Amino acid sequence: MLPIFDIWENIHETWGDEESYPHYAWEYGRDPTYGVVQEVKNGKAKVKTRYDLRSNTKQGVYFVDSFVPVEKNDVVKVGVDRSTLGLRGSTVEAITEKAPEREEILV
């Protein structure tokens, strides 16, 4: 038998039938995502985000409202609007706060 099937059987025995995305989202999901401010104009910010499985957001550049004063290259926490089933991903809403300076957020 191929080793990958042995690994799959071990995972299945460990996790049982709970390996679906809704279970993952319920267990490990979060409401905000993180991004880097690229530009600020008139209370709106251009924020670049990466793919984030925990908040179910796609990578991209978004123009969002900012509730806190931010500057270029700030790492920020961006609130997201999560849909009921999460099939199309979450929508990036607005900057809620500045994030702590940590490298592992953006890796």
Indicate the pTM of the whole model: 0.69
What is residue 49's predicted lDDT score, i.e. its pLDDT? 92
Segment 52-61 shows an average pLDDT of 88
For the segment 63-90, what is each residue's pLDDT rounded down to a tens digit?
999 989 999 999 999 999 877 766 677 8
Among 80, 100, 103, 101, residue whose Cα is nearest residue 92: 80
What is residue 81's predicted lDDT score, i.e. its pLDDT? 85
Q: Which spans in 1-107 are helix H?
A: 3-15, 21-28
CATH code of the domain made up of 31-105:
2.40.50.140
Query: Where do the structural domains in the chain lie, given as residue ranges?
Result: 1-29, 31-105
Q: Is the pLDDT at 2 greater than 50, yes or no? A: no
Q: Is the pLDDT at 46 greater than 90, yes or no? A: yes
> Confidence class of residue 52 from pLDDT cuts 50, 70 and 90?
confident
Burial profile 73-93: b = 16 or more Cβ within 10 angstroms, e = fewer? ebbbbbbbebeeeeeeebebe
Among 68, 74, 64, residue whose Cα is nearest residue 37: 74
